[in-house]
Structure 1
Amino acid sequence: MFYPIGYAVWISFLKTDGVTSKFIGFKNYVDIFAAPLVHQVFVTNLKFLIAIPIVIFLGLFTSVLLYQEIWGWRFFRIIFFLPSVLSTSVIGLMFRSAFTLNGPINSALISLGLTPINFFARANMAIFVVILALIWAGFGYAMMILLSGLMSIDSDLFAAAEVDGAGWWQRFWYIIIPSIRQQLAFVSIINTLYTFTSLFGFIFVMTAGGPLYSTTTLDYLVYQKAFSAFDMGQGSALAIIIFGVISVLTIAQSKYLKNDDGR
């Protein structure tokens, strides 16, 4: 574990294409923080955070339905969770095929007398499709985490609240939400980390970072710098910066959950 991290740190201080190298100190880091493209890509990553509240809402909604054991709940539990076990590349291919110019989505638009949309040629539409893929891929995992929290709630709390005349919404807001706040926090932070570290498969397959870098994410930019531009030094420096951000968020998550558990 420590060797690859240490080696990446060392490379980040070099100007290297993988064959020749020269020590340049912190220049790679200075160049990255000063690069307008990196700023643009960071903002793009922030746009994908829009998916997180939707993932949490859908995960909470479906977990509550399954907790109440609606008809076919075992079947739906499997169906909802299934996207979470697929790789990002497979999901990316599915959405790429669905939203391509000759795909089923545009075929449906044409059948309704509407003009087909070239989703992947327009920045906002391309981001929209990637966000849809993120939501579809992530809400099943959120559902399972939240469902585990729901199943740990003492059923006597619901019985006592019902005896006291509490309605469904009152039980939801005053029993369910406080009881699963740790799971909600965990899902929020995990999805935030996922957005900054695991979009490569989606972007590589669906948009290749285009059009005009509008869907390029931080992890995809690492790939472009290291393996397309053959600038291993800047690619490693950017990867180390991302690793630092992830570490801070992970430590914050651990402390929050530990403090919350001690209340």
Structure 2
Amino acid sequence: MPPRNSPPSVRPADAGRTDETKAGQRTRRTAPGADAPRLFGRQRAERLAPYVLLAPAIVIVVALRLVPLLMGVNFSFTGDGERDGTAVGLDNYAELFRDPLFRTALQNVGLLVLLLPVAVAIPGLLATFLYLRVPGHRFYRSVYFFPAVLSPVLVGAIFNLLLAFDGPLNAALGNAGIDPVDWLGDPDIAMFTVVAVHVWATFGMALVVFLAGFSTLDATLLDAARVDGASLPQVIWHVIVPGLSRTIQFAFVTTMIGMLTSMFGLLYVMTSGGPEGSTYLPEYYIWIQQGEMNRPALAAAASTVLFLLMLVVGLAQIGLLRRAGREH
């Protein structure tokens, strides 16, 4: 008999198991490829996740943008009036380029392209001063963005009063001994006036874009430039412009699209396309053909030309800016 005070016997965990059983368990635990199906499924889910997240946006873009665009292009090859719904080939496009008003609109598009660097440089420089925290930068940030929340119709009405031939601006010029200027009635000046008002009313959005771009700029580069004694123009040209190259590309493209597609309200209120059709843009021409002349097929052709113009100008701008960025 075992001693009365001896501890109870404890059976080892592996007692009664053969060496073959132990080896089999170890083999099952460490068998290569045991988790392969689960790992493969996880990797496949990770690869599909971006497409699943993008799918709703892609469906919306295709349904609300791409499909109407293709339908509009197809509609531009049909006739108006007596030839409504009849295929007319390129007749609408030929008529467009014979129309002096449409040719004027295309010339004004060229003018916008030439003025585009100024329209982008203004918010870019102002954003630079705000980023460098000039005195009162918080106040100026609010003031600069305020015009962006105003309706184009309201902006046009305000500047109609300010720029009238007998308005406050000409009165101030007269007090300074300068002859009054017909800002909205002179065909050589009216388009520049409308573009200037548009830039004033919309540069707040580009300003926000530039401020967001500055948040990604490496501040140590600016500090190094200051230590090296670089002037402000040198800092802007050699540090800020290369560092914000993608932001500048985005600002150029969006500003150009805004000029070509968002000036209708100003044109309608300030000049109604005049004087002598000098302030026509493709967008205003499209509205005239669709809304007043009841020529939707011709308007669709003009819309197609406008789309191609924006595509070509946008791609050209991106190419030039990328080349300039590489040179820096």
Structure 2, unaligned runs of 5 or more: 1-63
- Which of 205, 213, 217 does residue 153 from structure 1 map onto? 217
Counterpart residue number, 1:39: 103
Letter in 1 for 2:191: I
Letter in 2 for 1:25: G
- Which of 192, 207, 215 does residue 143 from structure 1 map onto? 207
Tell me, what secondary structure is at the counterpart of 2:79?
strand
Cα 1:163/1:110, change in 2 over 3 Å: closer
Cα 1:12/1:106, change in 2 over 3 Å: same
Cα 1:54/1:254, change in 2 over 3 Å: closer
Tell me if 1:125 matches 2:195.
no
Contact 1:157 1:175 in 2 (8 A): yes
- Which of 122, 128, 142 does residue 64 from structure 1 map onto? 128
Distance 2:318 2:136 in 1: 36
- Which of 233, 243, 257 does residue 297 from structure 2 map onto? 233
Distance 2:320 2:278 in 1: 34
Q: Which moved more, 1:1-10 or 1:90-99?
A: 1-10
Contact 1:18 1:230 in 2 (8 A): no
Counterpart residue number, 2:161: 97
Distance 1:251 1:109 in 2: 42
- Which of 105, 116, 119 does residue 55 from structure 1 map onto? 119
Counterpart residue number, 2:3: none
Counterpart residue number, 1:29: 93
Alpha-carbon shift at residue 207 of structure 1 (Å): 0.4
TM-score (norm 2): 0.70
Q: Which moved more, 1:193-202 or 1:65-74?
A: 193-202
Counterpart residue number, 1:197: 261
Tell me, what secondary structure is at the counterpart of 1:178?
helix
Identity %: 28
Counterpart residue number, 1:219: 283
Contact 1:14 1:23 in 2 (8 A): yes
Distance 1:46 1:26 in 2: 24
Alpha-carbon shift at residue 226 of structure 1 (Å): 1.5
Counterpart residue number, 1:84: 148
Alpha-carbon shift at residue 67 of structure 1 (Å): 0.7
Contact 2:78 2:84 in 1 (8 A): no
Alpha-carbon shift at residue 251 of structure 1 (Å): 5.7
Structure 1, unaligned runs of 5 or more: none
- Aligned residue pair count: 262
Contact 1:59 1:139 in 2 (8 A): yes
Superposed CA RMSD: 2.9
Distance 1:169 1:110 in 2: 36
Alpha-carbon shift at residue 211 of structure 1 (Å): 1.0
Cα 1:62/1:257, change in 2 over 3 Å: closer
Distance 2:140 2:153 in 1: 24
